[in-house]
Amino acid sequence: MDSVSRIERLANSTDIARDWADIEAILLMSVPLERQALVTNKPAFIAHWTDYYRYNQAELIYVARTAEGLLAGYLMGCADSRAAATSLAHHAGFALFADLHSAYPAHLHINCRPEYRTQGIGGRLIQALRKDLRDRSIGGVHVVTAMGARNVQFYRRNGFRQIDERVEQDRRLLFLGQHL
């Protein structure tokens, strides 16, 4: 397996079209097995998870690349969740936790190829976003995930702590945040 040699902004890529195809493939391979049956329309699913960032926050999209150029993972950030509220209202838990967005205004969406997980790549992607957010004087960042999801421990290892837990459509969702 190639080691990841660099974290960079997607905007600096020499082949953004290829990188978007890789991001979409990584997104699809990251859907948990128990939820894959819900992905009946792949283009709509991809658009649901990427379009806001692609068209509104492109400067906060980072990729992890191997020395050979393979895209191993990505992170899409949003500097102001309150400003994105209308566009992202269709995301599970977004409106549910809106009262916490002032304390933790930024959020992120992250995935890595399965064979590159547990190697610190996600942490490096989060570090790149945190630096950008601090440079913009943004005071906090958050993620929303399901109770018991495999990513909860990943976020905790990367400095997020549980701020709140709420139920939406019979799913227990966690709001994990960190001050910057």
Instruction: Using a pLDDT cut of 90, give the percent of the chain over it.
Output: 77
Question: What was the pLDDT predicted at 67?
Answer: 87
Question: What was the pLDDT predicted at 33?
Answer: 63
Chosen CATH of 4-179 out of 3.40.50.720, 2.10.25.10, 3.40.630.30, 3.20.20.150: 3.40.630.30
Maximum separation of any 2 CA atoms in the chain, in Å = 44
- Contacts for 20 with CB less than 8 Å, ≥ 6 apart: 54
- Residue 110 banded pLDDT, cuts 50, 70, 90: very high
In this structure, the number of other CB atoms found within 10 A of the CB of residue 41 comes to 9
Question: What was the pLDDT predicted at 92?
Answer: 79
Contact assessment for residue 173 and residue 96, using Cβ atoms and an 8 Å cutoff: yes
- Residue 141 banded pLDDT, cuts 50, 70, 90: very high
| pLDDT at position 109 over 60 | yes
Q: In this structure, what DSSP letter does residue 138 have?
A: -
Q: Which of 1-5, 90-94, 103-107, 170-174 has the lowest mean pLDDT?
A: 1-5
Question: What was the pLDDT predicted at 34?
Answer: 67
| pLDDT at position 54 over 80 | yes
Distance CA 50, CA 45 (A): 9
| pLDDT at position 49 over 70 | yes
Kindly report the backbone phi and psi dihedral angles of residue 59, in degrees, each rounded to the nearest multiple of 5, phi listed first.
-70, -10
Sheet architecture: strand order including 4-9: 4-9, 61-66, 71-78, 106-112, 140-146, 171-179, 161-168
Residue appearing with tokens 């998870």: 49
Q: b/e map of 2-35 (b: 16 or more CB within 10 Å)? A: eebeebeebeebeeeeebbebbbebbeebeeeee
Tokens encoding 63: 């990729």
